Chains A and B, each alone.
Chain A
Amino acid sequence: MRISWSRLGRASLVLVPLGFLTVFYAYPVLSILLTGLVRDGSPDLSPFRAVLTSAPLLGVVWFTLWQAVVSTLLTMIAAMPVAYVFARYRFAGKRLLSALLTVPFVMPTVVVATAFLALLGSSSPFGINLNRTIWIILAAHVFYNVAVVVRTVGGLWSHLDPRMEAAARSLGATRWQAFRTVTLPLLRPALAAAAAIVFLFTFTSFGVILILGGLTYATLEVEIYRQTVVFLNLPVAAALAIVQLAGVSVILWLYGRYQRRREVELSLMPAESVAQRPSTWRQRLVVGSVAAYIGVVAVLPLGILVARSFDTGGSGPFTFYRTLTDGSGSTAFVSPLEAIGNSLWIAGLATIIALVVGMAAAAVVAYRTGRASRSFDLLLMLPLGTSAVTIGFGMLVALDWPIDLRAHVILIPLAHALVAIPFVVRLSVPVMRAVRPQLRESAAVLGASPARIWREIDLPIAARALGVSAGFAFAISLGEFGATSFIARPDTPTLPIAIFRLLGRPGTLNFGQALALSTILMALTAAVILLVDRLRLGDVGEF
């Protein structure tokens, strides 16, 4: 009896994520691609020829690729010192800084663009005008994604035993040698995971490119949007989407190969005992400069937005906030404040879906070896690298049977979960893999049932990953704009949608309210991340 339970449990570990992805990702995407590429019942491949023989479109493909590679490299370089300091030191305000660093990740592009133009545009206080250059695009990509690397890599780093490096040092290695030969190899799985995620994000970048890059620069994502929405040229849009998917698949395959060769079993330590207070001047300097660096990279652009939301030109600093509630200038029928409520319940639901599906998938990936499990792992990442336009319009074409979900509010959390699941998996797998199989074997020898082993050994460990994943999933949903804006939705605006609507109308009050809502979104995100980080600390003690 117990055996059939555990078999069923194991089967559902595979079936839940597989079913979810089939219904809400593969089926919609295939539907829209076939709508574009099947004419009168027979496949029509001429759009591919159109794409591959058009110099502008090939230019788009090339630009998409190289800007993603450069953005990923720059993000990794920018994030490593921060990840190091967060992993190795304890200091006042660390959690706040870490939360602030994560806030950009969820800010809507329209709003971030305003801040970037204020800092690096024609009226820059530093006298640097990068407007409509590749540099402002790269800077924005780093700004957005630094948190992904800090959290993924820092998460693992903070549990690595510092004595390993100390041992290398005592054997005569320099600081750099010790890092390169001891720590770096151990960090590689997390580094590769972070790089893969950042690459997928920048490869499919839409808003940043469109707004900051002007029109000289276009990614595949921007071109798919133009072909679908402006020209209604579904065949070419489908061909471009397939080129995009192919590019993403190649990267994921490379990542998969790399990851396979780098699997190491780690002995992890509680983060508490790894991190120490900076004691020497040198250490204080390192911590201080990283804090200052975060101030410039993350807090300054955000601070400008906050400051402007209070800058009403003399009618009292809270005008924009007050008018959010009294309905003056409220967009459409929904008060901007209602958008906060919508955002919260949608993010809550999206988090639950992403955790259920993502943790099941992570368990499969972490505990099963073999080709199937590895392909499954990569398959899970695919939605991140798929055009939001393709997914949004695909859902519209496909999801009308057996229940018509096309214009159903449930589609919003489902779409958000689709974006969040890869994060849940990436954050959880390394932690789950780190459980030594001997622990489980000894428990089995001592007579524990598989269910009990799972409950008493795997679950407490998974719970740690759960906390981080939940925070990220929630934050992703709070800030998600792309997919949300491409699905037909009943009038339940989330915060980013409400901000976008306010920005769509002239008048200082509308602009100010948009900034006020952005500030609320920032505060909300920071609060969620702080809360989750606090919860997580409780769990580490069990380790």
Chain B
Amino acid sequence: MPARTPLGKARTRLAALAGALALFVSACSTSGPDTLTLLAHSSFAISQSTLDAFTEETGVTVEIIDGGDAGAMLAQAILTKDNPIADVIFGVDNTFLSRGVAEEITIPYVAPALGDLHPFTRLDPTNRFTPIDYGDVCLQYVNDGSLDPSTLFQDPDGSRLVVIDPSTDSPGLAFLLATIAAFPETWQEYWADLRDEGVLVVPGWEEAYYGEFAGASDGDRTVVVSYGSSPAAEVVFAAEPIDEPATGIVEESCFRQVEFAGILAGTDSREAAERFVDFMLTPRFQEDIPLNMFVFPALIGAELPRVFTDHATVADQPLTVEPAVIAENRDRWIDEWTAIVLR
């Protein structure tokens, strides 16, 4: 009997294969003591040089996990809260804040720089979430002189407007909240009128902006639910350099969105996580935010790029709804809206 039967040989092969696989898998996962994992939504962006500065300062490398859109990312964090897939989460906004707080996915942390942030961004008294940036969701219109911006929100024409389903994309929810904040008693009628006039509803911002908005596509809708910073992005990302955007923002329609970061409960790199949250509030990181994510820094005094001061809108009196009120009513409002507009 030879020492190595074919079966034995096969076993050896299998073992070798398993070993190789394990080796490959562990070689690919770089998370070690000097790595911090950041779970972020797909729109997260920052300059590589900024992240490198953090690594130089602390010796900690930042790995980013793309968690999909903000809702999907938060759902992932909640489902894995007993054994988190990351150390820090970024991109929970004020419409989702209460869900994150209630599920206790993050631990309280008072960043030293908290006092230097715009007071209106500090929406979480439990300090489980630290404000990082803010921006406005507003109506954007084709600025060719044919539309009077002062009527576009108060007395809109549904046949010109394309909106976003609040149950599938966050700007859609923000605009629904804007109408609820502005017309607390009559928002249902407001939407019923829009429906009767033929308002167009699409599932996401992409479809609204690149599919239907006359200012950015072949579409025929001249008013769209978009961001206050969109005209600035239009200038930055013009195929042909332009000085003035061809669109404008209806300031009174703007709903304020604030985005937060938090340290995930169960992290084994708490100290590095705290340092990273602190780093996100430094001028270096904060001033790198606008041109990467097209939102505004939460830090008071952070310098804005020229194109932002010139073309991005941030409302003086934005519409807001308390996070707790949103949490309590969100599902009901969405159901009501769906019944009015879609059924």
Contact = CB atoms under 8 A, between A and B. Distances in A.
Interface residues of A, number: 68
Given A489-B66, A490-B63, A508 B72 contact: no
Contacts of B69: 229
B168 to A, nearest CB: 7
Interface stretch (A68-76, A248-256, A400-408, A467-475): A400-408
Nearest to B238: A508
A463 interface: no
A176 to B, nearest CB: 44
A506 B233 contact: yes
B181 interface: no
Interface in B318-336: 331, 334
Interface string A225-259: 01011111000000000000000000000000000
Contacts of A35: 79
Given A505-B233, A506-B226, A408 B29 contact: yes
Interface stretch (B148-156, B182-190, B214-222): B214-222
B interface, over-half SS: mixed
Contact of A1 (B5, B42, B86, B239): B5
Interface in B204-226: 204-207, 209-211, 216, 218-220, 226
A21 to B, nearest CB: 17
A533 to B, nearest CB: 32
A320 interface: yes
Pick from A226, A332, A396, A400 the residue with the most CB of B within 10 Å: A332
B45 A333 contact: yes
Given A5-B6, A408-B25, A488-B85, A118 B201 contact: no
A106 interface: no
A409 interface: yes
B239 A512 contact: yes
Interface in A375-422: 393, 396-397, 400, 403-410
Contact of B43 (A215, A396, A489, A504): A504
Given A407-B65, A489-B66, A511 B210 contact: yes
Given A214-B202, A215-B203, A511-B216, A406 B233 contact: no
Interface residues of B, number: 71
A228 B66 contact: no
B205 to A, nearest CB: 7
B45 A503 contact: no
B3 interface: no
A510 interface: yes
Nearest to B71: A229
Contacts of A405: 25
Given A8-B6, A229-B69, A230-B168, A396 B206 contact: no
A393 B75 contact: yes
Given A5-B10, A333-B48, A403 B203 contact: no
A319 interface: yes
B93 interface: no
Given A113-B207, A123-B220, 15 more contacts: A1-B6, A35-B79, A56-B343, A211-B202, A214-B201, A215-B201, A231-B331, A313-B240, A332-B44, A393-B76, A397-B80, A403-B25, A407-B37, A410-B28, A501-B42
